[in-house]
Amino acid sequence: MTHPSCDFAKHVMQVTLAGTGVWLSDGATNVMPIGSREVVHRAWRLHAEHIRHSLVTGFYQGWDLHPAQLPSRYAAVYSFFLENLAAASDRLKNFVQKAAQANDAKATRDAAGAILENFPRTGYAPLAALVSAKVQFQAGDLKTARAQLEWVVENARNEEIQAIARLRLSRVLLDDKDPEGALRVLGEKPRPGFEALYASQRGDVLMAQNKVAEARAEYRSALAKIGPAEGALGETLRLKLDALGES
């Protein structure tokens, strides 16, 4: 499995079939983990080494000959991707950020879409969607920005990221002439630390609906909940209240 001639043959297959839609799967050693503890462990070690070699050379599908080979396959695959998680995450991050820094809405959308489709369970998928949604919003593509933020709200495991997505989604919905939807997004109890931001955003939505008294109440609530680290938000809230005739 690890002989240079075998590698060469597999590389030729990869190059020849690239872009054709044909999936390649690498085989496994025929040394079975059956017998004494020593024999089993030796077979598992050989099997794991072959699997890691296949992964390194770009074969991410594999098959086995015996159920007793599953433990070593699981361990080899899991450890391989876990060890490379940080580097893979950086590549995904750079993939989206380069497009975003170029302010290329289509490239950013495509990059984020590829990550959401192929790596939806990774921690970076929601971050990629947030970055792309910002670029789409700035480009005036509210439909795509809304879809990506809704994906984050529904799929992000991190509650802080969910809270950020709800705030941004509310702003997108308000710009998209859907103030009722903007308020619904903020209807759930906010994560601790986001209470003032949620109240401030609700105030903005209510002002857009010309509900001045209700907006004033939300701004007051936000000001009361504000923390010491949110000085800029406090100044903004006081300016809004001043504009409503309240010092």
Asked if the structure places residue 68 within a domain, the reply is: yes
How far is CA 91 from each of CA 88, 100, 125, rounded to the nearest angstrom?
Answer: 5, 14, 12
Asked if the structure places residue 214 within a domain, the reply is: no
The pLDDT, as a whole number, for residue 230 is 60
Asked if the structure places residue 14 within a domain, the reply is: yes
Q: Which residues of the chain have pLDDT under 50?
A: none
Asked if the structure places residue 78 within a domain, the reply is: yes
The pLDDT, as a whole number, for residue 228 is 64
Asked if the structure places residue 222 within a domain, the reply is: no
The pLDDT, as a whole number, for residue 100 is 74
- In the chain, the N- to C-terminal Cα span, in Å, equals 77
Contact 165, 155 (CB under 8 A): no
Provide φ and ψ at 29, rounded to 5°. Answer: -65, 150
* Of the candidates 198, 114, 103, the residue with the CA atom closest to the CA atom of residue 148: 114
Cα–Cα distance for residue pair 32/46, rounded to 1 Å: 10
17 C-beta neighbours (distance < 10 Å), count:
12
Asked if the structure places residue 11 within a domain, the reply is: yes
Cα four-point dihedral sign 18, 19, 20, 24: positive
The pLDDT, as a whole number, for residue 229 is 60
How far is CA 48 from each of CA 54, 61, 100, rounded to the nearest angstrom?
Answer: 10, 14, 39
Three-class DSSP category at 68: helix
Asked if the structure places residue 220 within a domain, the reply is: no
Question: What is the number of domains present in the chain?
Answer: 1
Asked if the structure places residue 186 within a domain, the reply is: no
Q: Rounded to two decimals, what is the model's pTM?
A: 0.65
* Of the candidates 243, 205, 203, the residue with the CA atom closest to the CA atom of residue 219: 203
The pLDDT, as a whole number, for residue 129 is 92
The pLDDT, as a whole number, for residue 145 is 94
Q: Please, which contacts does 5-9 make with residues 24 or more away whose CB atoms are closer than 8 Å?
A: 7/57
The pLDDT, as a whole number, for residue 227 is 66
Three-class DSSP category at 26: strand
State the residue range of the domain holding 49. Answer: 4-83
Show Cβ contacts of residue 227 under 8 Å, excluding neighbours closer than 6 positions. 193, 196
